[in-house]
A and B are shown apart, each in its own frame.
Chain A
Amino acid sequence: MQKTEHVQYNRAGQRVVSPDYLLFEAPREKQFMTGSEVVKEAVKRASVDASVSYPITPQSEAAHLIGELWVEGYVGVYFRGESEFGVMSEIAGCAMAGARSITTTSGPGTLRAMENFPMWAGSRLPIQLVLMARGVNSPLSIQPDNLEMSFLLDTGCMIWHAENAQELFDMILAGFVVAEQPDVHVPLITAIDGFFISHTREAVMLPPDDIALPPYNPYKSPMVPLDMEMAPGRFLRDPYVMKSNYISYAAHTSWQFEVRAAIERSRPYAKHYLRGLIEEFGDPEADIVFVASGTAAAQAKEATLMLLHEEGIKARVVRLKTIRPFPTQELIEALRGAKYVFVPEFNVIGWLEREVRRALYGNLDVPVIGSPRVAGGMTMPPEFIVKEILQFLGKEVKHVV
């Protein structure tokens, strides 16, 4: 007797495959693409139902390219919001209606939309926001800088930080899978350093575009869609919740802790789909360690190779893939034996240095040096990192910049 196989197709006619097959097993072909183009390729394979856009540099091109996917039939609904606040409110409506939803923003757009992010989290909406970080200050900057990520740390959203276009592609796909787990089901901010990733072209390995993630099943949502019929959430009319009394405080507290607990529940899923919450690079015995995320980690890796080959100094990099949840245990284990921890960053305040210090406090006694740090659009060439290390170690700085 012939065996019958049930094959499922999504609205675009793509064959639905398991997330593990799409991410780890499907054959891949090399392409040469910008980060913005890679967003399009990921969304194309993600069975996305809805996307809302608004132009702001440097994410405008990615938003535009998702619009092309709508024309081609890969995305169910696509429209332009009135502002970033409008976009983030409207995408919440899409998610409340049970749609797999994605949007993009940058810098001042993120801040304009800010009120919505805790609302997404409290409403348990697994929206994915691709954040192409850019400077936030006056005079207005459109330069690469990830200060805005610090403002998002405690919104109740998960935050992942991609190092390059390849990782951005994989994170977008894995992100839907992790964020939509019933016990997680909170928003995910997939961040990259704008321009460095969004506007530069690099080699990426992509699976075929005739396969895609299984569609989102809103019936597995931990908060029933019916409950959302009165925007921004029917639960807001509960007198106990809205009034100022002890019962309402207790309900709000539990609600807020539950959202944070949901982020913690994402750890095992993220560990599987990202192949670990951290990546270690370089000589495992080295006692000089860079702890970094995003583009700063890529630069630190190059600096590690320069230090070894040109100066004979052993160093290593611990790259954090997830910022929320913060990989505290993994970091502590990775830093055992470290003599100095450097935290290179692309922002003025050193938010990652703060996070690292908080994670290590009382757990590991090692000096944390918040350096090198650049902001306002400055780049961080590996030579610059090498120079700082040599100066710190009291060694002669020869030919570096």
Chain B
Amino acid sequence: MAKLGPSGYSPYPVAMYEGILTPPPGKALLFNEIVDEEIAMREAAKAMLTRENPTIFPGPQVLYAWNEEAKEKAKLVRKIAETLGAKIIPMYDYRPKYPKIDPEKEINPNHPNLTIWHNNIKACIFVGVHCHYANVALKIIRAETDCFTIAMCGNSGHEDAMITLRDQHVEELEKFIRVAEEVKKELGK
């Protein structure tokens, strides 16, 4: 992803069309730069600790007890929220919400901007959201808002996020908590 939104819809904000690919294994993406994972983690923590109303958007992969890893990751997501002083608003599934979504309580991938606008969220982390829905949502967020987006993905990452961390499993989430605690201390928070 090249820059913070709102970028508008024409040209449509598609990082891939701007020549930005997902990072290779072992690396992360910080805007349009491939960097070491730790550098990206530090910047992610800094954004969450310094921008208004930081929020974590956990998706179904960490909200339901599909397997042991999901349970473990869910606990760590909660710990990340505590460390960063962030709110949690779940994307608990991708189901239709009728007659409309309650943006206080949840976020939906097809109109994530409603939740971000309503809560004035300036930094967020996507974690456990299925890749297609994360990608759809991240493009809309960049088009419509100035929210700083961070993706913590269990697969190969999301080039539409401002920071993307790939292959994030239990060990990596634990590492992120350690990095966030360090950054918090450095910032005197």
Per DSSP, are chain A's interface residues mostly helix, strand or loop, or mixed? helix
Listed residue (A235, A237, A260) with the most chain B CB atoms within 10 angstroms of its CB = A235
Instruction: With both chains docked as a complex, state the minimum distance between the C-beta of A273 and any C-beta of chain B, in angstroms.
Output: 16
B110 with A238: CB separation less than 8 A: yes
Per DSSP, are chain B's interface residues mostly helix, strand or loop, or mixed? loop
Residues of A within 8 A of B139 (CB): 254, 257-258
Residues of B within 8 A of A248 (CB): 110
Residues of A within 8 A of B60 (CB): 224
B96 with A239: CB separation less than 8 A: yes
Question: For the complex, is A268 an interface residue (Cβ under 8 Å from B)?
Answer: yes
B9 with A220: CB separation less than 8 A: no
B135 with A223: CB separation less than 8 A: no
A235 with B135: CB separation less than 8 A: no
B136 with A240: CB separation less than 8 A: no
Q: Which residue of B lies closest to A220 (CB)?
A: B155
Question: For the complex, is B131 an interface residue (Cβ under 8 Å from A)?
Answer: yes
A250 with B131: CB separation less than 8 A: no
Q: Which residue in B95, B108, B130, B135 is a CB contact (below 8 Å) of A221?
A: B130
CA distance A227 to B132 in the complex (A): 12
A220-263 to B contact mask, C-beta < 8 Å, 1/0: 11111011000000110111110000011011011101101110
Q: Which residue of B lies closest to A329 (CB)?
A: B19
Q: A223-B130, A261-B14, A261-B16 are in contact. Are A234 and B94 (CB under 8 A)?
A: yes
Residues of A within 8 A of B159 (CB): 261
Interface size on A, residues (CB 8 A): 34
CA distance A239 to B139 in the complex (A): 20
CA distance A268 to B155 in the complex (A): 16
Q: Which residue in B21, B93, B98, B114 is a CB contact (below 8 Å) of A239?
A: B98
Instruction: With both chains docked as a complex, state the minimum distance between the C-beta of B166 and any C-beta of chain A, in angstroms.
Output: 9
A237 with B96: CB separation less than 8 A: yes
Q: Which residue in A220, A241, A250 is a CB contact (below 8 Å) of B143?
A: A250
Q: Which residue in B21, B94, B108, B140 is a CB contact (below 8 Å) of A224?
A: B94
Identify the 5 closest CB pairs spanning chains A and B, nearest first: A222-B131, A222-B132, A251-B110, A261-B16, A238-B96
Contact surface of A with B, Cβ cutoff 8 Å: 124, 181-183, 185, 220-224, 226-227, 234-235, 237-241, 247-248, 250-251, 253-255, 257-258, 260-262, 264-265, 268
Sample 22 A-B pairs with CB under 8 A, ordered by A number: A182-B156, A220-B155, A221-B130, A222-B131, A222-B132, A227-B130, A234-B94, A234-B96, A235-B96, A235-B110, A238-B97, A240-B100, A240-B108, A240-B110, A240-B111, A241-B96, A250-B111, A255-B110, A257-B17, A258-B14, A258-B135, A258-B136
Sample of 13 further A-B pairs with CB below 8 A, known A254-B143, A268-B21 = A124-B132, A182-B131, A183-B22, A222-B130, A227-B93, A240-B100, A241-B96, A247-B114, A250-B140, A255-B136, A258-B136, A258-B139, A264-B17
